[in-house]
Chain A
């Protein structure tokens, strides 16, 4: 291990097999209180529907074994609680613990979504306040908290657009998607029943406005943009983009993944966005938990309001809140019950912690990204020179001369005690390094990151093999993904190691 690596070092973690490999018949980890009614006979009651043998292969272990098993597994993970994740457009910020506490309160975690409205006013007030806060932050007119994730928010947004255009007489056929877009954008457009037309970015990585002018016809329903773009750069000609679309009756959808550059500083509703989604698990601090849950609320201008998915939060006589389902123009339900409520609670707790000072978080996020950009420009190639906001995109062009790619650099970064940045996205930058520190990183952590990246760049020049065979300090090294895909093993079976 190089002595210039000071942030991370090797550590003894326990080995641990699959829980099924520890299983032994008769062990149990959980007891129920005794049955206080006569025992039913399942053979009589269920007949041939009776699963008389129990679940075959299910684990049988004790409580301490369960606790040790998962505790040991957890020590094999990197996490925000340990250090920076410079992942672009993921916004891996601190997950405040008070959010976890309030989501678990009796009277919050315990509520059934179908219980009477008179017993749910507390939950409904939480939804109402969150709606109001998110409308204030986005500058939009109406909102739905139903979608379970950003991708579902995108779908909801496109279905709102479709419903609105159908009401105007023609749902139209196409959605324009920049070649720099996140993969969920084109995937969602297809599910919404639209054809996708890709629009190439210009030489600055921005939407090519002249190309847009050509492409926007009355067959185009919408353009989906991310702003700032996935390069971390604000669309300078956003007002031209909006004018071109609106002139032909098309709408502007904004993927809100990069709201961490805007909250408190600028509002999408002000610069002409018609409908957008937010990622509460990005900008609003709800935890990633290894891949979810998230939430993808959709905020919109009032022309789209009648089409909102059900249920819709309304205020009735005397201030009583209710969730209404009788909405004749609604696009329908996008998910059962009522959104990922536990995630919504956490997002509201985050907003309450900041209040109007939420701008400070945005400023620190942009400050950190620019500080890193300043110190790594010249060390890594900067493909686009326009100012970065909360994230910066480099390329591996300089290191590629020695055969070292962005993936290799990312893997070597692990040895330095960081999670990799986003590699190979956006697609318009071959060999991209997409770096978003977020406001949660101290100057110290940013300096350590800069030092690590500079050190790796030097290694790429003087000792490229070290970088290409990284990581060197993890429990396992690069896994054979090819065999895993050719001969997939997707579950444990007894008898197989």
Chain B
């Protein structure tokens, strides 16, 4: 799968799709692949405050549980309610229908610090090699 060029990416395998002062956040294809079939997602409530780099929720598969980290600081505007009954959307369409939350952020410089698509692709190919060692 290719990584959308308009998105930005974190070291912890989250993506953010920015529109104005709002961003949609999700997990990358690499993340869903590593996790395996996702069985449960815990997302923050609408109105919750996020801090860049701190956990915003938890994603659980049969064999693993990982924190989901906020790419930016801000306020949660919406959480993807469909994931409650269909967490598998994250596996099937991680960059689209599997989105997690929509956030209003203030500090655009936090976005600039994130990786673009080519940088993220390079990053995951290196980390895949390390994991096999």
Contact A486 B39 (CB under 8 A): yes
- Chain A to chain B: the 10 pairs with minimum beta-carbon distance, closest first: A485-B39, A482-B37, A486-B39, A481-B62, A485-B62, A482-B62, A482-B39, A486-B87, A485-B40, A430-B132
What's the nearest-Cβ distance from chain A to residue B106, in Å?
Answer: 32
In the complex, the answer to whether A486 meets B40 with C-beta atoms within 8 Å is yes
In the bound complex, CA of A233 to CA of B92 (Å): 43
Chain A residues lying within 8 Å of B40, measured Cβ to Cβ, are 485-486
Instruction: Report B's interface with A, CB cutoff 8 A.
Output: 37, 39-40, 60, 62, 87-88, 131-132
Taking residues whose C-beta sits less than 8 angstroms from the other chain, chain A's interface range is under 10
User: A431 to nearest B CB, angstroms?
Assistant: 10
B37 CB contacts on chain A under 8 angstroms: 482
Chain A min CB distance to B121 (Å):
23
Q: Tell me which residues across on chain B come within 8 A of A482, comparing CB atoms.
A: 37, 39, 62
Specify the chain A residue showing the minimal Cβ separation from B86: A486
The chain A residues found within 8 Å of chain B, CB to CB, are 430, 481-482, 485-486
**Which residue of chain A has its CB nearest to the CB of B87?**
A486
Residue of B nearest to A400 (CB): B132
In the complex formed, the residue of A with least CB distance to B88 is A486
Which of chain B's residues have a CB closer than 8 A to the CB of A486?
39-40, 87-88
Within the complex, the shortest CB–CB distance from B38 to chain A, in Å, comes to 8
**Which partner residue on chain B sits nearest A424 by CB separation?**
B63
Residues from chain B with Cβ under 8 Å of A485 in the complex: 39-40, 60, 62
A469 to B36, CA, bound (A): 18
Chain A residues near B62: list those with CB within 8 A. Answer: 481-482, 485
11 more A-B residue pairs beyond the given contacts A482-B37, A486-B40, A486-B88, with a C-beta to C-beta distance below 8 A: A430-B131, A430-B132, A481-B62, A482-B39, A482-B62, A485-B39, A485-B40, A485-B60, A485-B62, A486-B39, A486-B87
Q: Across the interface, which residues of B come within 8 angstroms of A481, CB to CB? A: 62
Q: For the complex, give the distance between the alpha carbons of A430 and B128 in Å.
A: 13
CB distance from A393 to the nearest CB of B (A): 17
Give A481 to B39 CA distance when docked, in angstroms: 10
Which one of B39, B60, B132 has the highest number of Cβ atoms from chain A below 10 Å of its Cβ? B39
Residues of B contacting A430 with CB < 8 Å? 131-132
CB-CB nearest in chain A for B36: A482
CB distance from B39 to the nearest CB of A (A): 4
Assembled-state Cα–Cα distance A486/B39 (Å) = 5
Whole-angstrom distance between the alpha carbons of A430 and B37 in the complex?
20
Distance in angstroms between the alpha carbons of A482 and B37 in the assembled complex: 7
* CB of A434 to closest CB in B, whole Å: 17
A sample of 7 inter-chain contacts (CB < 8 A) reads A430-B131, A430-B132, A481-B62, A482-B37, A482-B62, A485-B39, A486-B40
In the docked arrangement, what's the CA distance between A430 and B39, Å?
23
How distant is the Cα of A486 from the Cα of B37 in the complex, in angstroms? 10
Bound Cα distance A414, B88 (Å): 31
Q: How far is the CB of A51 from chain B (nearest CB, A)?
A: 35
Q: Give Cα distance in the complex from A89 to B62, angstroms.
A: 23
| Cα A38 to Cα B80 with chains together (Å) | 63
A482 to B60, CA, bound (A): 11
A140 CB to closest chain B CB (Å) equals 37
The minimal Cβ–Cβ distance linking A425 to chain B, given in whole angstroms, is: 12
- Bound-state Cα–Cα, A351 to B87, Å: 52
> Which residues of chain A are within 8 angstroms of B60 by Cβ–Cβ distance?
485
Nearest-CB distance from A222 to chain B (Å)?
26
Closest chain-A Cβ to B96's Cβ sits at a distance in Å of 20
A98 CA to B132 CA in the complex, in Å? Answer: 49
A467 to B11, CA, bound (A): 37
Distance in Å from the Cβ of B118 to the closest Cβ of chain A? 28
Tell me the complex Cα distance, A290–B8, Å.
Answer: 49
B88: chain A residues within 8 A (beta carbon): 486
Cβ-closest chain B residue relative to A485: B39
Contacts of B131 in A (CB 8 A): 430
User: Could you say which of A430, A481, A486 has the most chain B C-beta atoms within 10 Å of its C-beta?
Assistant: A486
The residue in chain A whose Cβ has the minimal distance to the Cβ of B131 is A430
Q: What is the distance, in angstroms, from B84's C-beta to the closest C-beta of chain A?
A: 10
CA distance A348 to B60 in the complex (A): 43
User: Closest residue to B91 on the A side, CB-wise?
Assistant: A482
CB nearest neighbor in B for A488: B39
